[in-house]
Amino acid sequence: MTTPDLIQVSEYVWELPAVGGMRVPGRVYADRELIQEVRDDQSLVQVANVAHLPGILRYSMAMPDIHFGYGFPIGGVAAFSVEEGIVSPGGVGYDINCGCRLLATDLRTDDVGGRMKPLIDQLFRDVPSGVGASGAIERLSRKELEKILVRGAAWAVERGYGSKEDLEHTEDGGTLPGADPGAVGERAWVRGQDQVGTLGSGNHFLEIQTVDRVFDAAAAAAYGLREGQITIMVHCGSRGFGYQVCEDSLETMASASHRYGIELPDRQLACAPVTSPEGRQYLAAMACAANYAWANRQMIMHLTEQALLRALRMSPKDLGLRLVYDVAHNIAKLETHEVEGVPVDACVHRKGATRAFGPGRSEIPAAYREIGQPVLIPGDMGTASFICRGADKSMAETFGSTCHGAGRVMSRSQARKRAKGRSIERELESAGVLVRSQGRKTLAEEMPEAYKDVGQVVAVMDGAGISPRVARLRPLGVIKG
């Protein structure tokens, strides 16, 4: 289809008018510079395509980190009426519940300044990473894997890999309800047996950081963050298990779309009504993958703590490692939101987008409820990450959603060509960032130039009042797959 012309409706909001079969307008959050990068990009066509889907509420939205994805754009948000709308695997993506976990410590930058190399080396040894990484824990029996799919992060905590407080500081308590292992195909079971507690590859990372700037002192204090503090960020998802759940679901949805008479502008938007047997089956399988991802990040947190204690030769009390928050980036969730002043049950798709609930929502941990939900925005390798907070405006405009990162501007093949003849590892080290990776290919594909400026992306959502900035985290050492 031809994408309608963008209309600027405010400083940071651009609109695609509803034309043709679009049921609602499209909305893109960006400043003038970022909008130029996507004007001729196929991701805008995807924003318009999503607006064709039945039961969509208010807008088809894209955050400033928007780029081309499978069906839905990455950086896309769309909410559908549970009663009349659909659920689409393309609106979640292959890496179900890819997300971020932020850990705080009682250490200051000076405490690790001279020990970064052995610290990074220890983490690289102890946290399995890379394509097909396995072996963090023993190969799981089917019965034990079934418990993970239902219990999520709670499975790990019940086995001593964390605390009750960890669950309180994880989105949905680390357990998405409605998971049904019976909805999961056999191939996913096989792929999930030995990847819990592994980082994976691509843009996933484990990063040692320092808080180098606080924008909102009250929110930072509520989150337990202060300038000069050492933090650790984990960015990963559901590994091969989630990928297979998506792959299997797309086959089912392709025939379901036709069966329910849903006209699709793009076959990658294959979907089914939320309340249909196919829709319920996908949500049940997706919840299993989401829970797998939360168990995975909980185990990585445990492995990280053990590695830090070994490398720094200190007690858990002196380290003071604790979970600030854990958020999902790729997920579809059943939530209640106000639409034109009326509460509506909605299936909110966030693909490369983060929940950003404002103050007062019961889903937010009690310690953060007056401030708003912590929002974790990872940077690309070698650049800053940001902590933001959910705001009332996000509830009014974006179904409690915001951006999730920098967003690619180069494909992986383009990045490899740009990196040819260079040592990305040495370039990062000269900038003060130690990096360990299973291969040079990943470093080339994930180099900072391959991404937008995350500070600019975050500034847009701050300026729009959706997710105000709280703190900036500067990387000191990074582990990649």
What pLDDT score was predicted for residue 200? 84
Give the integer Cα–Cα distance in Å for 74 and 267. Answer: 17
For 243, what's the count of Cα atoms within 13 Å in the CB-facing half-sphere? 11
pLDDT > 90: percent of the chain? 83
- Residue pLDDT, tens place only, 193-222: 989 999 988 889 999 999 999 999 999 999
Rounded distance, CA 329 to CA 349, Å?
A: 10
**Whether the predicted pLDDT of 419 surpasses 60:** yes
Looking at residues 162-183, what average pLDDT do you find? 97
The residue among 46 and 140 whose pLDDT is bigger is 46
Question: What rounded mean pLDDT belongs to the chain?
Answer: 94
Cα–Cα distance for residue pair 61/467, rounded to 1 Å = 15
Q: The pTM is what? A: 0.96
Query: Residue 64 half-sphere exposure, CB side, CA atoms within 13 Å?
Result: 29
d(CA 15, CA 19): 12
Task: Quote the CA–CA distance of 295 and 161 in Å, as a whole number.
Answer: 10
The DSSP-derived string for 91-145 is GT-SSTT-EEEEEEEEEEHHHHGGGHHHHHHHHHHHS--STT---SSPPPPHHHH
Chain-centroid distance, C-alpha 21: 30
Lowest mean pLDDT across 230-244, 365-379, 406-420, 451-465: 406-420
Helix (H, G, I), strand (E, B) or coil at 335: strand
- DSSP H helices, 237-276, are 239-259
- Buried/exposed 261-299: b ≥16 CB within 10 Å, e otherwise: ebebbbebbbbbbbebebbbbbbbbbbbbbbbbbbbbbb
Asked whether the predicted pLDDT for residue 481 surpasses 80, the reply is: no
8 Å CB contact between 426 and 443: no
Residues taking part in catalysis? 404
How does DSSP assign 48-104, residue by residue? HHHTTSTTEEEEEEEEEEEE--SSSPEEEEEEEETTT-EE-GGGT-SSTT-EEEEEE
pLDDT on residue 138:
66
Mean predicted confidence (pLDDT) in 231-255: 96
**Whether residue 456 has pLDDT greater than 80:** yes
Task: Note the pLDDT tens digit of each residue in 261-313.
Answer: 999 999 999 999 999 999 999 999 999 999 999 999 999 999 999 999 999 99
User: Exposed, middle or buried by CB within 10 Å (0-12, 13-18, 19+), for 56?
Assistant: buried
pLDDT at 114: 86
312-333: pLDDT as tens digits: 999 999 999 999 999 999 999 9
| pLDDT at residue 85 tops 70 | yes
Enumerate domains of the chain plus CATH numbers. 99-333+361-480 (3.90.1860.10)
Segment holding 220, helix H or strand E: helix 217-223
| 343 CB-contact burial (10 Å; exposed 0-12 / middle 13-18 / buried 19+) | exposed
Does 134 or 421 have the greater pLDDT score? 421
Which amino acid would we find at residue 149? L
Task: Measure the CA–CA gap between 89 and 248, rounded to whole angstroms.
Answer: 10
Residues 55, 294, 146, 365: is their CA dihedral positive or negative?
negative
> 394: which residues sit within 8 A by CB, 6+ positions away?
356, 357, 358, 400, 401, 402, 466, 467
Are 301 and 127 spatial neighbours (Cβ–Cβ below 8 Å)? no
Closest by CA position to 299, among listed 343, 234, 253, 249: 234
List pLDDT tens digits, range 14-69: 999 999 999 999 999 999 999 998 887 899 999 999 999 999 999 999 999 999 99
pLDDT at 135: 65
Helix, strand or coil, per DSSP, at residue 476: strand
Closest by Cα among 283, 416, 440 to 347: 283
β-pair partners for 79: 348
Q: Distance from CA of residue 62 to its chain's centroid?
A: 15
Q: Is the pLDDT of residue 2 over 80?
A: no
